[in-house]
Amino acid sequence: MKKTTGMDRAATANWRPATRALRGGTWRSEHGETSEALFLTSGYTYDDAQTVADRFAGTAQGMTYSRLQNPTVAMLEERIALMEGAEACRTQATGMAAMTAALLCQLATGDHVVAARAAFGSCRWLCDQLLPKFGIDVTIIDSADNAAWEAAIRPNTKVFFFETPANPTLDIVDLAYVCGLARTHGITTVVDNAFASPVLQRPMEYGADVVAYSATKLMDGQGRVLAGAICSSKQWIDEVLMPFQRNTGPTLSAFNAWVVLKGLETLPLRAFKQSEQAVALGEFLEPRVTKAGGHLLHPGLPSHPQHNLAMAQMDATGPIFALDVGTRARAFAVLDALKLVDISNNIGDARSLMCHPASSTHANMGDEARAAMGVTEGLLRINVGLEDIADLVEDMDQALSAAGM
Ligand SMILES: *Cc1c(COP(=O)(O)O)cnc(C)c1O
């Protein structure tokens, strides 16, 4: 008898999180390979013409074309769905392909969206530039203010769109309240969970309808590939997302899916360890930054205005924090003095990376909108990696000294 594979929901439903991350979705071929196989194929062959007709009609199971299905990609999708606690998942080529698909697949001219002010630059571009171009109104609110969500609802509000923690200011959204409010108004919540990953936070447990990812970040976690994912109910994925995805083609490559599968194997270890290191480095830096007139933002530190909420809805608070050192000149001086931490705008990587959002990830937006979301000229964002914490402390210590702090 064959051992249970990761594709058997009846068996995998009982697996605990670390087991799901390592074995969920594993779908062995007749060769019994240990590691997931990489199926580099664009198409599939059939034994007879009727099988083709049956598969295209949906009356027979089986792959037809890799824009629609691929075995390696299917393994990744099943693993992410299991980790999220979702009925279904589909992957996309990048995180932004996922966000774009999650919104455009369900919105039409005349609809209204309420979106969080603090967001990744390209997510704000979708809200500020793309959606309005198609006659979809967007109201931007302070996502930490529960009353603002309710006040923004209109009869035609279709979607709530937000990140928590948000990039790069680490604003936290009250998931239970905002998702509950959306439910009572028949509004679909789309949560960008890239900063947490399903290991640290599962928004569906709080009533979120759609959870979207940049899998480039913690899921790959080693800075190798770009990838995106969308989790939801099977009905929403099949009926709302798939007509859009199959015909517009933001498909993830099998190779990149395979790399992310390898990343997920160690995600629980990395996410918790990096969260712990972020808190430790933050605790070391905070008194010094505060003394120099700046401040530090990390949901895992008691100084964060939504610390208690973050601790309640997250299993750990993630590898990313922000520090405001006052001016662009000083922020650049800190970056230029780094000897170990790299100047880089990626996050979720096992290496520690630091960037200046106002001139990089959030450069592509209006000065006013940037200032309103708290992305000041002195703000630095750091992704804390897996290096020895003593080396990170030493590097940041000398960089702050070099910047006169
Ligand atoms: C990086 C990021 C994205 C975009 O993901 P890509 O994989 O780079 O396309 C979207 N949302 C958040 C919160 C991100 O950090």
| H/E run at residue 116 | strand 112-116
- Residue whose CA is at the smallest distance from ligand 1 atom 7: 95
pLDDT band at 364 (very low <50, low <70, confident <90, very high): confident
Residue 344 lies in a domain: yes
Residue 282 lies in a domain: yes
* Rounded CA separation 294/297 (Å): 10
Residue 145 lies in a domain: no
Is the pLDDT at 192 greater than 80? The verdict is yes
- CA triplet 55, 60, 61: central angle to 5 degrees? 90
Is the pLDDT at 271 greater than 70? The verdict is yes
If you write DSSP's letter for every residue of 160-191 in order, what string do you get?
Answer: EEEESSPTTT-----HHHHHHHHHHTTPEEEE
Quick check: CB of 96 below 6 Å from ligand 1?
yes
Q: Has this prediction a pTM greater than 0.85?
A: yes
- How many independent structural domains does the chain possess? 1
pLDDT band at 386 (very low <50, low <70, confident <90, very high): very high
Q: What is the pLDDT of residue 369?
A: 87
Q: What is the pLDDT of residue 5?
A: 83
Return the best residue to mutate from 96, 169, 349 for the ligand 1 pocket (most ligand atoms within 8 A of CB).
Answer: 96
Neighbouring residues of 401: CB distance < 8 A, sequence distance ≥ 6: none
**Cα 11 to ligand 1 centroid, rounded to whole Å:** 33
What are 131's two structure tokens? 């959606």
Q: Which atom of ligand 1 is nearest to the CA of 163?
A: 13
| Distance spanning both ends of the chain, measured CA to CA | 66
Residue 273 lies in a domain: yes
CB count in 10 Å sphere of residue 209: 21
Residue 162, beta-bridge partner list: 191
What are 205's two structure tokens? 């447990």
The stretch 170-175 carries a mean pLDDT of 97
The stretch 203-209 carries a mean pLDDT of 98
Return the amino acid letter for 32. Answer: G
Residue 110 lies in a domain: no
**Cα 227 to ligand 1 centroid, rounded to whole Å:** 9
Residue 168 lies in a domain: no
Q: Which atom of ligand 1 is nearest to the CA of 167?
A: 13
Quick check: CB of 161 below 6 Å from ligand 1?
no
**Edge-first strand listing for the sheet containing 379-383:** 295-297, 320-324, 379-383, 353-355, 342-343
Is the pLDDT at 217 greater than 70? The verdict is yes
- CA triplet 54, 56, 61: central angle to 5 degrees? 60
Return the best residue to mutate from 120, 259, 320 for the ligand 1 pocket (most ligand atoms within 8 A of CB).
Answer: 120
* Rounded CA separation 132/220 (Å): 33
- Residue whose CA is at the smallest distance from ligand 1 atom 11: 120
Residue 261 lies in a domain: no
Residue 310 lies in a domain: yes
pLDDT in tens, 130-160: 999 999 999 999 999 999 999 999 999 999 9
Domain that holds residue 380: 268-402
Residue-averaged pLDDT of the chain: 96
The stretch 99-110 carries a mean pLDDT of 98
If you write DSSP's letter for every residue of 363-388 in order, what string do you get?
Answer: -SS-HHHHHHTT--TTEEEEE--SS-
Quick check: CB of 91 below 6 Å from ligand 1?
no
**Cα 154 to ligand 1 centroid, rounded to whole Å:** 28
CATH number assigned to the domain comprising residue 313: 3.90.1150.10
Quick check: CB of 120 below 6 Å from ligand 1?
yes
* Rounded CA separation 31/33 (Å): 6
Is the pLDDT at 1 greater than 50? The verdict is no
pLDDT in tens, 310-356: 999 999 999 999 999 999 999 999 999 999 999 999 999 999 999 99
pLDDT in tens, 25-63: 999 999 999 999 999 999 999 999 999 999 999 999 999
pLDDT in tens, 59-69: 999 999 999 99
User: Is the separation of the CB atoms in 188 and 215 below 8 Å?
Assistant: no
